[in-house]
Structure 1
Amino acid sequence: MPITLTDNVALSTNIVIAVLLTVLFLTFKKSQHTDVFPISVTQELKGLGILTVVFAHFAYMKVTNSEFLFPLSIIAGVGVDLFLFMSGYGLSVGMLKRPMSALEFYKRRLIKIFIPFWVALIIIFAADAIFLGTFYSVPYMIQSLLGWFPTARGFGDVNSPFWYITWMIMFYALFPLLFSVKRPWLTALILAVIATLIGTFNPLNLEDNWLHRLHTLAFPMGIVAAWLLQESKDKENKLVKYIKEFRNNSKGLARYIVIILMFAVVVYMSLHTSANHWPTIASILGKGFYVEQLSCLIIMLAFIVIFSLKKLDNKFLAVYGLYSYEVYLIHWPLIGRYDIFFDYLPAWAAVIAWMFAFIVVSWLLTKIVNPISAWVDKIAK
């Protein structure tokens, strides 16, 4: 069951924010890259994404106090969109450089999602049985191993954030079947339509479909971004050239002004993500969740612009980005069912302790997963 925060909420929140800002400040270093959207930037954005999700789960699911960790906890939807955007972008970049058949894609890409997921899920099933005496039915375990999570019950499902697994697998399954090297934008459009129809009309009767309908466009937008930023030896990409020149060679205040404006967008839109803040737009679109998704996408794009234009790398975000998938897989069962820190430490200290523990446990998980992945890669060749 969730706990009620008895500490001074404002003080606990301010301490966490102060520690986070200090760590961020101390782990900045000058960027070495000149590319528009290099791996280092995508890793940092993944780190930012998982942090927004974790902070939200601390505040709304663990402590059940909306004031705790505010405003760190209010943009988890942006974090989910960042993950989907990065997936669509990364898969598209790979397919544009080296096209592969659907079968080869499933063997080399889709299985990479399932292996750590299966390992984490089996460990959770076993731990719940051994330490908590909680046993799940065989049909539930089978459907879970297949990636089917129609519900997102915080204390009822084996891992409520796994609703995202079902949604992500849908995109991964359709992507190689629909991807066009010549027209990636068309692939994005088709996937956007399919996801929007599923999210809007819920033909599969997903009990927590409201989560899916908030995240129908980020993955297709990642595909579009890969298409727009595509470079080749034969033809210069004028958009890429312009962005590089603006970031690397711009003089004066232009770059700083854009970054500051994007920060202003993040702050303002973060405080106005609900459709209740945009009644006119909501009435025009007819569905409030369209407006909430639009708000999250605007914030996501603002973060992408900021991270693309900054000339500093951040080690803390990069580390969390490196282990972002593992943190996603294990963080909620740990704090939801195996928490010890909140029992013995002040809330702010418990959060900080878990932030360190997530990386340690994620690192240990990779030690199990990596040899299995290497073995599967060897078989797939």
Structure 2
Amino acid sequence: MLEKFDISITNASKGMALMLILWHHLFYEKPESGWLVFQTALLAKVCVGIYVVLSGYGLAESIKKRGMELGVFYKRRLLKLYMNYWLIALLFVPFGAWFMGRTLLSVYGEHSFEGFMIQMLGFHMFTWVSYGYNATWWFMSLIIVLYAIFPLVNFLSARFGWWFLAFCAALLFVPIPLVNDWIFPFAVGVFLSQRNGLVILFEWFQKRGVVGFFILLVATLFMAWYRQHGWLFDSVRADTFFGILLIIWTTKFSLFFSWGKKALEFIGVHSFNIFLFHTFIYYYYFPDFIYGFYSPLLIFLVLLGVCLLISMVIERFKLLIGFDKLI
């Protein structure tokens, strides 16, 4: 029985999402890798929805213990977000500029300093900078906005519940730059935390035994198909529902296989680091090395292993400089 969707399960789900990110980025533009690899790579974009749901859930869980004091919340959360972002940039951008030919001038043009500063503030997706130095960093523009509106989302979700979720679902069809696809999954994550929803969902399937297992399987396969071929709530609009089903599968796997839970937790702990720098490894700096392994599974495992090793070194470096004391 699952009594609480705790930090260990959350980290395992982040680990699952991180592996989906790598699979998606490696193969979503490579149909030559085979039909199954290509289609699963397209489906793996659900990773963004999973991260957004978990972000809303995690923020709502954190204020249960610490309360909601706006100044403290923004200082703690945004500082931690920015400091990790800036550290990765400090490590990888100079390397790219000095050794890989990816200079600021080549990326931002004659306004290189201005462009880089805008990207480091996380506002780049709302400006001429767009994807800038690292295309994956588009997510920073999104998550900063979601963090900023979290206190309001938390209040409205607690006050109006399902009505507020319906309003957020309607926003999926409103052309709000960047964030319109992601306010809904973020609000759902907050809602699930406030009502212990993930535990309730998980237990609903568990109590039905084999029947519950097949219901979950059929629902997941249907959502995978619907995401690619449905209408209205298709594509990324379906990722809230598809992502929650994958989180439930990850929870089942983690509770059944202790070794699997430990492996996913370990990956999850490193997920934010790897999210920030993995594009440098497989795309900007060393694509010939990564894709030189030919087999899609081996390419994926090599990238995952390399990224984990780099992240472990970065975490060791943080300890040596007392990085956590700065945030």
TM norm. shorter chain > 0.5: yes
State the shift of 1:262 in Å. Answer: 1.4
Cross-structure match for 1:236: none
Instruction: Give the distance between the partners of 1:369 and 1:192, measured in 2 at CA.
Output: 42
1:354 equivalent in alignment to 2:303: yes
Cross-structure match for 1:79: 47
Cross-structure match for 1:44: 12
| 8 Å contact kept, 2:96–2:103 | yes
Structure 2 vs 1, CA of residues 172 and 373 (structure 1 numbering), >3 Å: closer, same or farther? farther
| 8 Å contact kept, 2:124–2:131 | no
- Which residue among 124, 139, 149 is the counterpart of 1:164? 139
Structure 2 vs 1, CA of residues 177 and 373 (structure 1 numbering), >3 Å: closer, same or farther? farther
Instruction: Give the distance between the partners of 1:184 and 1:337, measured in 2 at CA.
Output: 44
- Which residue among 102, 107, 111 is the counterpart of 2:75? 107
| 8 Å contact kept, 2:2–2:199 | no
- Which residue among 135, 142, 148 is the counterpart of 1:173? 148
- Which residue among 158, 161, 186 is the counterpart of 1:184? 158
- Which residue among 263, 266, 269 is the counterpart of 2:223? 269
Instruction: Give the distance between the partners of 1:89 and 1:328, measured in 2 at CA.
Output: 19
Cross-structure match for 2:272: 325
- Which residue among 164, 174, 178 is the counterpart of 1:200? 174
Cross-structure match for 1:220: 187
| 8 Å contact kept, 1:341–1:354 | no
State the shift of 1:320 in Å. Answer: 1.6
Instruction: Give the distance between the partners of 1:346 and 1:293, measured in 2 at CA.
Output: 29
- Which residue among 283, 298, 323 is the counterpart of 1:336? 283
State the shift of 1:304 in Å. Answer: 2.9
| 8 Å contact kept, 1:112–1:373 | no
State the shift of 1:337 in Å. Answer: 1.5
Structure 2 vs 1, CA of residues 194 and 166 (structure 1 numbering), >3 Å: closer, same or farther? farther
| 8 Å contact kept, 2:157–2:191 | no
Structure 2 vs 1, CA of residues 264 and 325 (structure 1 numbering), >3 Å: closer, same or farther? same
Instruction: Give the distance between the partners of 2:142 and 2:11, measured in 1 at CA.
Output: 21
- Which residue among 364, 367, 373 is the counterpart of 2:313? 364
Structure 2 vs 1, CA of residues 321 and 260 (structure 1 numbering), >3 Å: closer, same or farther? farther
State the SS of the aligned residue for 2:174.
helix
- What are the Cα deviations for residues 225-283 of structure 1, in whole angstroms up to 9, with x where unaligned? 111119xxxxxxxx968966985xx5xxx233223321222223223313xx234xx3x
Name the amino acid aligned to 1:216: I
Name the amino acid aligned to 1:374: D
State the SS of the aligned residue for 2:34.
coil
Name the amino acid aligned to 2:248: V
Instruction: Give the distance between the partners of 1:242 and 1:262, measured in 2 at CA.
Output: 10
Cross-structure match for 2:109: none
Instruction: Give the distance between the partners of 1:84 and 1:265, measured in 2 at CA.
Output: 21
TM score, norm. by length of structure 2: 0.81
- Which residue among 76, 79, 84 is the counterpart of 1:116? 84
State the SS of the aligned residue for 1:134.
coil
State the shift of 1:336 in Å. Answer: 0.6
Structure 2 vs 1, CA of residues 375 and 187 (structure 1 numbering), >3 Å: closer, same or farther? farther
State the shift of 1:375 in Å. Answer: 2.0
TM score, norm. by length of structure 1: 0.71
C-alpha RMSD over aligned residues: 3.4
Greater radius of gyration (CA) = 1
Instruction: Give the distance between the partners of 1:183 and 1:216, measured in 2 at CA.
Output: 12
Instruction: Give the distance between the partners of 2:77 and 2:271, measured in 1 at CA.
Output: 17
Name the amino acid aligned to 1:269: M
Query: Which piece of structure 1 moves more, 136-145 or 295-304?
Result: 295-304
Instruction: Give the distance between the partners of 2:121 and 2:51, measured in 1 at CA.
Output: 21
State the shift of 1:44 in Å. Answer: 1.5
- Which residue among 296, 304, 307 is the counterpart of 2:239? 296
1:54 equivalent in alignment to 2:28: no
| 8 Å contact kept, 2:5–2:199 | no
State the shift of 1:324 in Å. Answer: 1.0
- What are the Cα deviations for residues 98-148 of structure 1, in whole angstroms up to 9, with x where unaligned? 213111012222211111111112222211211123322001110011012
Instruction: Give the distance between the partners of 2:58 and 2:168, measured in 1 at CA.
Output: 20
Instruction: Give the distance between the partners of 1:336 and 1:242, measured in 2 at CA.
Output: 38
Name the amino acid aligned to 2:182: H
Instruction: Give the distance between the partners of 2:41 and 2:200, measured in 1 at CA.
Output: 37
State the SS of the aligned residue for 1:72.
helix
| 8 Å contact kept, 1:159–1:333 | yes
Instruction: Give the distance between the partners of 2:72 and 2:304, measured in 1 at CA.
Output: 37
| 8 Å contact kept, 2:165–2:187 | yes
Query: Which piece of structure 1 moves more, 117-126 or 219-228?
Result: 117-126
Structure 2 vs 1, CA of residues 267 and 34 (structure 1 numbering), >3 Å: closer, same or farther? closer
Gaps of 5+ in 1: 1-32, 231-238, 283-289
